[in-house]
Amino acid sequence: MQTTLTRRGVAVLVFAVAALAAGWLFGGRTLNAVAVPLFVVLAGAFVYVRRLDRPSVYRRVPETVRRGDSHVLSLSVEQSGEPTVSVVDPLDGIRGASTLETVADGREATRAVTFDERGEHTVGPTLVTASDPLGLWTRSFSVRNEGTVLVQPRVHRLHETASLLAGYVGLTDERGQFDSLREYRAGDSLRDVNWRVSAKRDGDLVVTTYAGEGATNAVTIAVSADGPRVDSAAEAAASIAVFCLDHGVDVALHTPTTRLSAARGDDHRRRVLDALARFDGGTVRRDPTDPADVAVNAPADGGHVTVTAAGMTRRYGEVVGAPDETTDSSEVAA
């Protein structure tokens, strides 16, 4: 906690000292009458800021976001005396203003930020600088109340019929012959819900299945990256995983530090994307007992990210949609 004179305070102090010196040298009582009140004001302002309690800082940050998303972060400060405060709130890997001006009366101060970097990022700790009503002195407080945001990789839209995966994992937008009806299960695509039949059931959804649909019901995705394109590899793996989950296929994920068993549903989707948010490169060790069906690789030399499935390897940029369907076409072409 540091107490400092502001520029205005320094100017007042210099003027008061000069007036006092002139009065002493030349005997001007009028100058002394000016200098003494200025010293009193400076002393009173100093006592004011020294009596301020440590502030409380409250913030609201999202728990998880996608890379490239923009959000509004809010922050409020409460402190005795409700002084005007300047808040420095560092942003790690987040683009936006790190300094706010507000009043320490609990009101919310907001700022728009953009999450440019994948991974786990910290907002804070906060440096709160309070001033007296005249702006002569400031006192700074460091408040450790960091907020953490997990930035997931972007998800690109794959081609409507992802030729690299179709047939191998049974993913296709083409419909075959009607096969049967069954009850809805968590993770099923809403496009497969038979709404006419479901309307006749009391609160139960019914899903239509088609002949030849679902060559497999689970896919294992392994992602490795030894070079500078770690973000691109994470986005490729995330896009393929979401594509499979959207089509009702269970997804297992292997990274150098994480192994997720095959599952589906919203909770598993979040676990997959969270694991890829924390993916920091490295090579997945091959496991003969649990081989990967789809391998995503970013080579050490910074070359193109590749996707291998059913013995066929292609550049990731060849299986994604047009550039206007993605956040950043330069990443897709990686």
Residues 238, 153 contacting (CB under 8 angstroms): yes
Residue 182 backbone dihedrals phi, psi, to 5 degrees: -150, 170
Predicted pLDDT at 149:
94
| Pick from 230, 224, 235: nearest CA to 257 | 224
Class of domain 56-152: mainly beta
User: Which pLDDT tens digits describe the chain residue by residue (334 residues)?
Assistant: 789 999 999 999 998 888 877 777 666 566 567 788 889 999 999 999 999 999 999 999 999 999 999 999 999 999 988 898 999 988 888 999 999 999 999 999 999 999 999 999 999 899 999 999 999 999 999 998 889 999 999 998 876 435 556 544 555 444 454 456 677 777 666 767 777 777 777 777 877 765 445 455 788 999 999 888 999 999 999 999 998 888 888 899 999 999 999 998 999 999 999 999 999 999 988 776 677 888 899 988 888 898 888 777 888 877 675 433 444 444 444 5
DSSP 323: G
Residues 75, 58 contacting (CB under 8 angstroms): yes
- pTM reported for the whole predicted model: 0.72
Please state, in angstroms and rounded to a whole number, the distance separating the CA atoms of residues 81 and 52: 7
